[in-house]
Amino acid sequence: MSPTAVYLVTIFGLLIAVFTLSAGLIWYERRLLALFQDRYGPNRVGPFGLLQSVADIVKIFFKEDWVPPFADKPVFVIAPAVIIVATLMSFGVVAFAPGVMVSDLNVGLLFFLAMSSMGAYGVALAGWSSNNKYSLLGGLRAAAQVISYEVFMGLSLMGVVMMAGSFNLVRIVQAQERMWFFLPQLVGMAVFMVAGFAETFRIPFDLPEAENELVAGFHTEYSGMKFAFFFLGEYIGISLVSAMLVILFFGGWLGPVLPPLAWFFIKTFIFISFFILVRGSLPRPRFDQLMAYGWKVMLPLSLANLVVTAGILLWRRS
């Protein structure tokens, strides 16, 4: 096969894998939370309820794709696509195994941070274009939340960059051959994980769509496939953050006996399960508590981690 053909096969394979995984995660989340809370979960449609996600997709296809007459139609239609595109673009630099990636950028980590922050535009535009007060409040919350936690997410990764000496994700994984970075960068990993919850709007940080306050937040006026895009984007985001946690702090594809790709997916699956179990464990804070936690706790921790890491590396080289 020519290099172009290999490149196209990699892209289409990634798209199929990501969308299939996201659909499967909807079923997996229901089953895992049911087990966690001593319930049955999906168990009617297909064996173990495996066809429940298929049933949901069929139902969404037949729902009316309605645009409110009071909405800003072009922006209303584009907003869900912005979230999907931004998240999928981030997957373009994810290194699944040696040579298994779409693009091996020298600034891959910066590209990931840039694309992940673009998702805030989709949520903010959805809230604004809906011309609904609850949606607007959800959009404003999302913008403030993402902008704030993007700062801490970026700072938490600078220790990893200093230890690896590169923004290239492949080199970051290779730098962990002797020791995974979650040990020396435990604080950075914790800050990145918390910021990942905030970036994906997952419980306990799902305040932009807090149903007890904002009905459904920024997607209150959405239905049909547009609503499905928001739902799908959330699960793609969970997979992305879990994959980045594995690459940056847990050695990526490194591991004994099993093939590199198998190790990568096993580690990623563990973090996806953690994301799901947190949903069934923690309560939702108030929005002012969320923002105060970010600026008063996450920012000092990430700055302290950055200074201490820099100091230790300078001391070692002197």
Structural domain count of the chain: 1
Q: What is the pLDDT of residues 38-96, one digit of tens each?
A: 888 888 888 888 888 888 888 887 877 778 888 788 888 888 888 888 888 888 888 88
- HSE value, Cβ hemisphere, 13 Å, CA-based, for 146: 24
Q: What is the pLDDT of residues 213-257, one digit of tens each?
A: 566 677 777 877 888 888 788 888 888 999 999 999 998 888 888
Handedness of CA 297, 299, 302, 303 (dihedral sign): negative
Supply 208's token pair. 């932009």
Q: Give the pLDDT confidence score for residue 316 in this predicted structure.
A: 85
DSSP assignment letter at 256: S
Phi–psi pair at 97, nearest 5 degrees? -165, 170
Mean pLDDT of 129-138: 81
Q: Is 40 a domain residue?
A: no
Domain coverage including residue 93:
63-317
Q: Is 258 a domain residue?
A: yes
Work out the pLDDT band at 103, boundaries 50, 70, 90.
confident
> CA 302, 307, 312: angle at the middle one, nearest 5?
125
**Which residues have a Cβ under 8 Å from the Cβ of 5 and sit 6 or more positions away?**
none
Q: Is 79 a domain residue?
A: yes
- For the chain, the maximum distance between any two Cα atoms, rounded to a whole number of angstroms, is 67
Q: Is 181 a domain residue?
A: yes
Instruction: Please tell me whether the overall predicted TM-score, pTM, comes out greater than 0.85 for this model.
Output: yes
What's the rounded Cα separation, in Å, for the pair 120 and 227? 16
Q: Is 28 a domain residue?
A: no
Q: Is 16 a domain residue?
A: no
Q: Is the pLDDT of residue 291 over 70?
A: yes
What's the rounded Cα separation, in Å, for the pair 200 and 192? 12
Mean pLDDT of 209-214: 62
Q: Give the pLDDT confidence score for residue 268 in this predicted structure.
A: 92
Q: Is the pLDDT of residue 20 over 90?
A: no
pLDDT greater at residue 303 or residue 97: 303
Q: Give the pLDDT confidence score for residue 223 in this predicted structure.
A: 76
Q: Is 34 a domain residue?
A: no
What's the rounded Cα separation, in Å, for the pair 120 and 218? 11
Inter-residue contact 76 to 67 (CB < 8 Å): yes
Q: Is 81 a domain residue?
A: yes
Beta bridge partners of 276: none
